[in-house]
Chains A and B, each alone.
Chain A
């Protein structure tokens, strides 16, 4: 709260000057995510919330610009799949709005209603270079989890910049279990729900007579069924992925992406042909379930080489440690993925999947989400030194840094720790 007040005062006080004052961010290495590629000794100039120029440092900063120096400069990273901001403490039910197992509704659940921009995990995620999040609800009451949204990580009101961006649908083992106990049950629910939407008028205008969905759920699912909204399916087994692709072929207008896809490499060619992007956790290399028997740490690399759009995320802890996607992408590189592809998996790929224009790239005219790093962003030893969202320098502190600073020394001779801030 205090930070917000300070920020607003600061904005009031300096905004006339801020508008006139560009920032020049120099990087020994500047990764652009565009046809400009990677620039050695580069410079990114931002002004008024936008990127003004990207090029060699020899161009020199505009006069009056604030100058920032870093080893690496990248676009703000984008988390393609998380629950960040939906829970303060995952294991505390009252503080967790990710899912609703007892709700009578499913597809209508709007995850944005559960988002708290001030959740402590937001700042923690931002401090590791993530400026944008695609947030999905958990599917707990039915295979339809509800509506996902896009947010920035500023922690300020208005962080959500697009609601109802995708419908989240869980298939595979989890979808089977939640639909009554089998994959046939899951597919019956899915097809039944599609029929409910298509015959909405007949089924719901006078009575609530859907086969699967309530009136509200059918209404919420309508844009996805019409192909106006992305459907994000969660599935892992190759046969499940094949079934999703069959469904897509039977319903060509659908816009489909898949999260999980541990066995995606087995059907990579067809995913590429159908232009279905995938969101993977490149750490997944264990037969953790019978749907992941072919999991391999080369999945991301193989999918990428087959021409599939690949985003990389942390599915192991998607609320508080979404930020580990950089480590996971680095490991994908160690397992053969091209470095640029791994970087795209954290920037341009999620931007493309969710239609975030002007984000995930360093290009003139793009939104000024920029991160300055003390090293290669995919290295476990690197961290951001500055983070900009829409041109605003972000506070580099979180509840974690406050705890750290309080306990940096354990001297209580004069006063208890509680007085130290």
Chain B
């Protein structure tokens, strides 16, 4: 399959190329060079991320949570060539390997936050940095949040110190369709391209409820401000856009099978058509249970799939339906009450969703929360336990790594400590389900990117140089 001319680089080509690449990447980690294989027209902002040098390293004698549900006491993790080579109780160091005695420490996969606005709403939070919401219209599927991400956001380094190794940056929730999200490796870089997770699918941010109707119908000081004014207006807006996208996709499909010219390129419809074909994963901000249920119907009407509901403070009310459909819920441990649609938030939401057999994810949506998602999981885990939902820690860790990886389509590459996967690993000072545990060492693709006890391994962003906080303990 070749796409020779720019005019042919409709969604169709992207779709087909991505499908081939997926089919070809049965072996974990083989996506690394996928971006490089595409032309600028197919993939205009390719990842330039390359893993940093790493050594063959045996992390020994630790309590290991492999992230796939197993806990190994006195276990070891062998990292070789930036990948997980072996995990177990009797792993031996090959010749030339460095052995790190991690007695008393805990080792886990790196945490993946699938809801962050770092870089798009960076620190300092001055007006000039407000790049997270393109509120020019309720449907802005044409924008890509990576074009807003400032890689110098000090928040990335704080997240790294909290054990975050990958994260999804999303546009804000002002719009019905907010634009494309992007999945990043949490490595300091000069450009956002050098952070992009190689081969990760694009995502589409959508939003339910209060935000779109507030920002458009009743926003910006004008009445009428324009649709949507109401939740029914929201739904009409989604359906209207999907109808246009379905038509666009039909033209693309027809052109693909030799039935004529592809339609004129349209950034908005390219993204929406990509969501309809399943290449672009839909991530939907939605608080209320009843609204989520309606979104599931809309997705069936148009034949797309919701990868994850975000915030989802009422997922516990329809956890059975979410399990049946197969949508993840990305949740806070305990945020509630800050707006009407968050009024019914409860601290047991995450364990109740997990207990119903649905996919539970702990997310942050915060440059503060992202620094200790392990503690957010711990709170939810403990609150679940108090009502008789006794989830082993090693299973609950899936809320932090493997489930978010699934929601982002990167679970074959990362999210658990399994041979062949990227060596995205955190060594904790103790049980990470404690207020007192700290991430001591963080590895991304086997390269150590952070060390709590070594200032030389603590990144300092440009913004912080020459400021009173430069290089201080954060």
Contacts and interface: CB of A to CB of B under 8 A. Distances in A.
B435 A287 contact: no
Nearest to B155: A286
Given A334-B438, A404-B346, A89 B474 contact: no
A298 interface: yes
Nearest to B468: A294
A394 interface: no
B434 to A, nearest CB: 6
Interface stretch (A137-145, A253-261, A350-358, A379-387): A379-387
Contacts of B379: 327, 380-381
B320 A92 contact: no
A120 interface: yes
Contacts of A120: 337
Interface stretch (A39-47, A55-63, A200-208, A317-325): A317-325
A294 B340 contact: no
Q: Binding site of B, secondary structure by majority: helix, strand, loop or mixed?
A: loop
Contacts of B336: 124, 320-321, 400
B334 to A, nearest CB: 7
Nearest to A286: B123
B382 A381 contact: yes
Contact of B474 (A285, A317, A382, A383): A285
A80 B320 CA distance: 41
B367 A408 contact: no
Contact of B346 (A286, A287, A293, A400): A400
A8 B382 CA distance: 34
Contacts of A289: 124-126
A281 B469 CA distance: 17
Candidate in A263, A288, A297, A316 with the most chain B CB atoms within 10 angstroms:
A288
Contacts of B438: 334
B288 to A, nearest CB: 13
A400 B463 CA distance: 42
Interface in A106-126: 120-121, 124
A181 B273 CA distance: 47
Given A296-B469, A410-B356, A90 B155 contact: no
B123 A381 contact: no
Nearest to A291: B124
A83 to B, nearest CB: 11
A321 B335 contact: yes
A287 B464 contact: yes
A175 to B, nearest CB: 17
Interface in B123-174: 123-126, 154-155, 158
Given A90-B337, A92-B339, A410-B319, 10 more contacts: A288-B367, A296-B469, A297-B474, A298-B472, A320-B337, A333-B435, A334-B436, A335-B473, A381-B381, A404-B352
Nearest 7 CB-CB pairs, A to B? A330-B435, A91-B339, A381-B382, A320-B337, A294-B468, A294-B469, A293-B467
